[in-house]
Amino acid sequence: MKRQRQWILVSVLALGLLLALAAGLALAQGPEPPEGEVSVEGEVSAAAAVDSKTPVQGRLTDDSGNPLNGTYTINFYLYDALTGGNLVCDDDQNNDVPVSNGLFTWEIWGDCGSNDLTGLQLYLEIRVEGETLSPRQPIYPVPYAFSLRPGAIISGTSDGILTVRSTGSGDSDAFVAYAGGTGEAVTASATEGVAVAAFSDDYLGLQAYSYDTANDHPGIFGCSADSSGTCDPYRDDNGAGVMGYSQYDYGGYFVGGTSADGGVYAEANYSLGMGVWAENKGGGAAVYAEGDAAGGTSHIFPTLYLVQADSAGDFVVGSGSIWGTRYWRVDRTGRGFFNGGTQASGADFAEQMAVEGEEVDYEPGDVLIISGSADRMVELSVEPFATAVIGVYSTEPGVLAGAPDTDDPLEGIPVAITGIVPCKVSAENGAIHRGDLLVTSSTSGHAMRAEDNPPQGTVLGKALGELAEGTGIIEILVTLQ
């Protein structure tokens, strides 16, 4: 005679634990860390991790309600709906389940695991000897599972062992962690992947506070090294908001996207504070900056841009130590102060001046005289012993004065009025020897050897090289007299 079997689901312990774990964290309250200590009610110690198997208990009777005895094939299935729906996982292994006085206990294993229990409502279907018992039974969290107990361990090999999600509106935090004493609110490590990933649709992805009145523990500490022993000494360095240490690469690495204002923004509101403090104690550079923006019409995208709002302040100061002796500085007006002097690649001082005619008709090394056509203008020398001689077209001036700060091509040419400069010379008044006084010649734009006692105001400078005949270029010392 065919017997109708009935069953009563008594409890589903492990399923309830994992379901409540995800739900409980998502319901955590407290959008802002409270002032003072946070207490943990019902605190317990855990000697071992909770078993990940799913125990199921039930009662099996015949159609008359008499409890059954013996061994029966019972299979278990989890669905996402009371009827129909999708099969989430199953324990379909023809389990030989012992039944005594109608009672049975079994642990679901099979394909059901923590990856299948995400906090969504599930329903358990049981089949005995191939017969499906109905209705399916909803899975509820048990009281123990309403809080993740201290010492609990969630372990697995999948990507995303624990996901905590808040779907509320407003200030709905997905995860809040507190630590008392000298403990860490969150400690995470990863063998190869990301230890902690935090996302927010409309606010902060990650927020951390450190109420350390001693000012020597950061709000967030990140470390990349071979071991925690290498990292730990650095986490007690200072009370920074964010502190990073790396054994092999950058202590902190920040990248701004194509629409971001920048990779790093630093602001200090203390009168003696530093917006950015950079040190290199290993002998390398303290700051490295690289830019690739082309110069615009106002030079607004240089590799380093300095802004000094105080008119009495300095743009930059060079010193041997913090607040120590200043060796050089550039003040707010652009004036430079250099204790050891300056050194440039060029060897002459030049003035930027307009030219008579077309600039293309002039070449570096040309001897120039003051033009009579306009103020601050020069032209090529064309006669000997010109008293209007002013200098030489500079090849590469060490200092260029009189040039405006502009992106447009400079008008005029640099005229060396003192210092060493290459100069066009002619031997028309005899061979030129080192130390000879030089004056203008009849050859356009050339200097020649002066005679003894040249007229006052005609000397261009002194020869530093020699020319036996013809014309050529030698270095001269421009010393107008």
DSSP state of 129: T
pLDDT digits (tens, 9 = 90+) for 112-160: 765 676 667 889 898 888 888 888 988 876 655 555 566 666 777 777 7
- Residue by residue, DSSP assigns 68-102 as P-EEEEEEEEEESSSSS--EEEEEEEEEEEEEBTT
Averaged pLDDT of the chain: 81
pLDDT of residue 59: 85
28 confidence band (pLDDT: 50, 70, 90): very low
18 confidence band (pLDDT: 50, 70, 90): very low
pLDDT of residue 139: 81
For residue 455, say if its preceding peptide bond is cis, omega within 30 degrees of 0. Answer: no
pLDDT digits (tens, 9 = 90+) for 307-347: 999 999 999 999 998 889 999 999 999 888 989 888 777 78
pLDDT digits (tens, 9 = 90+) for 397-416: 999 998 887 777 788 999 99
| Secondary structure E strands in 320-446 | 326-331, 336-338, 348-355, 367-370, 377-380, 389-393, 399-401, 413-426, 437-440
pLDDT of residue 151: 66
Which of 32-46, 87-101, 103-117 is least confident? 32-46
C-alpha span between 111 and 91 (Å, rounded) = 6
In the chain, the percentage of residues whose pLDDT exceeds 70 is 83
pLDDT digits (tens, 9 = 90+) for 194-243: 778 888 878 888 888 877 777 778 888 888 888 778 887 877 767 788 88
Give the residue-averaged pLDDT of 175-200: 80
Tokens 């060493």 belong to residue:
420
The token pair that represents 50 in the structure block: 């909770």
Give the residue-averaged pLDDT of 162-169: 79
Residue from 5, 14, 114, 134 nearest 60 by CA: 5
pLDDT digits (tens, 9 = 90+) for 141-154: 665 555 556 666 67
